Each structure stands twice: as structure tokens, then as C-alpha cells.
Amino acid sequence: MRRIVDILIVLLAGLVIVPLCLVIAVVILCTMGRPVMFRQTRSGRYGKTFGILKFRTMHVCTAEGQSDAQRQTKVGQFLRRYSLDEWPQLWNVLRGDMSLIGPRPTLPVQVEHYTARQRGRLDVLPGLTGWAQVQGRNSLSWAQRIELDLWYINHRSLRLELLIVALTVVQLVRPRGVVGPNRINPGFPQRKELPQPVESSQAGGVR
């Protein structure tokens, strides 16, 4: 039933979002060039990996030691602030990689640091939005986000999911916690332990 609801909502939302995505793609192409989107490997249900899609928000790194803040454009900042860079993930939902609501998909290297209990976070499909997202997003530590996700999984109900939808709308209108302090979430593995994805070199900003 959940899968059917996901597909129906994505198809209906697509009538509005797809044209807007085309506009965003043109703006990115004109301000940053190609590629318009990028794909990054994330862990899904039961740890199965898949390629998550996002609009590009940064210039391609060409100088050694160049920070994410230096690479990010004004257009990119706007897209991230209002989570517009996440819209291509509706395709991931349609494919069955993700659901509309669930824990945000994380990097496989971060999953390697999970305890046996924390791996319970992988018992459901990852989502576009979730309980941890509306409780503080990237201002929360890694451990806090995982605990919130585990609580959600143990208390899933229609009422809770409608609450998440309502709080997500508030979050989109009045964004908070877009990035953590210094763009790093406390408690994430150190930068040297993480891979270097195309879009961002700081996994602490994984959203």
C-alpha cells in the first residue's frame, strides 16, 4: 500500500515539479555548466546501495584545497536552502530505491560505523524527508539523527507521517539546520575516513 501511495503522489507531484526541474536545470546549465545533476552512492534498505540523484550546487573542484563554501554558487545556496536540489530524488522514489518518508539515505562508509542496533535504521526504505529531518536536520549530531530515525521506525503510523509532512512544509518555508557547524555534523567519521564524492568533499553535509 505504501508503495502505491508513493507512486501516485510522485506522479501527481510530477505534473508541477517536472516543469520546475527543467527551469532549475536550465539555470544550473547557464550558471555552472555541465553536469546539471550528479549521482552519489548511498545505502538503502538492508544496506543495498543505489545511486541517489541531486541537482549540482557547486562548481567542479579545480583547485587543490578549495573548500565547499568557495565552490558553492549563489544559485546552489538557494537550491540547498530550500531543498530544491533534492527534487531529482523523486525518480529514486519512482524506481523503488526510496520512499517519500523515511530515514535519509547515508553513505556506505558511514553505515560501516553503525552498531548492530543502529543498523535497524536500514530496516525501511530511506526517504525524501523523515522524522530526523524535521527535528533539526544537519544541526543534529549523527547519533541524534540515528536515534530519531529508530524512534520513527518503531512508532510509524499514519498520524506520525502526516505530522512529518506538515513539518516538512514548515521546514521548506522556514529552513533551519541546512548545514551543521562548520558544515560538519558532530559525531560523523573524520573527513580522512570518508570518500571524496563528486559534488561535496564533506560527508558531514549529507542530507
Q: How far, in Å, are 77, 192, 196 from residue 146 at the CA level?
A: 26, 22, 23
- Look at residue 201 in the predicted model and tell me its pLDDT: 41
Residue 59 CA from chain centroid, whole number: 19
Q: What pairs with residue 49 in β-bridges?
A: 43
Give the global pTM: 0.81
The whole-angstrom distance between residue 25's C-alpha and the CA centroid of its chain comes to 18
What pLDDT does 19 receive?
95
**Taking a C-beta distance cutoff of 8 angstroms, is the pair 45, 123 a contact?**
yes
Which single residue is written with the C-alpha cell 562548520? 182
Cross-strand partners of 39: 53
| pLDDT at res. 179 | 59
- CA dist 152 and 146 (Å) reads 10
What per-residue confidence (pLDDT) applies to 141? Answer: 87
- Which residues lie closer than 8 Å to 39 by C-beta, 6 or more apart? 51, 52, 53
User: pLDDT (tens digit, 0 to 9) for every residue of the chain, 207 residues total?
Assistant: 889 999 999 999 999 999 999 999 999 999 988 999 999 999 999 999 999 999 998 877 655 666 666 677 889 889 988 899 999 999 999 999 999 999 999 999 999 999 999 999 999 999 999 999 999 887 888 889 999 999 999 999 999 999 999 999 998 888 776 655 544 455 555 444 433 344 544 444 456
pLDDT at position 183, please? 47
CA 55 to chain CA centroid, nearest Å: 11
> What secondary structure, in 3-state letters, does the chain show?
CHHHHHHHHHHHHHHHHHHHHHHHHHHHHHHHCCCCEEEEEEECHHHCEEEEEEECCECCCCCCCCCHHHHECHHHHHHHHCCHHHCCHHHHHHHCCCEEECCCCECHHHHCCCCCCHHHHHHCCCEEECHHHHHCHHHCCHHHHHHHHHHHHHCCCHHHHHHHHHHHHHHHHCCCCCCCHHHCCCCCCCHHHCCCCCCCCCHHHCC
- Sequence-separated (6 or more) residues with CB below 8 Å from residue 4: none
Q: What is the pLDDT of residue 172?
A: 86
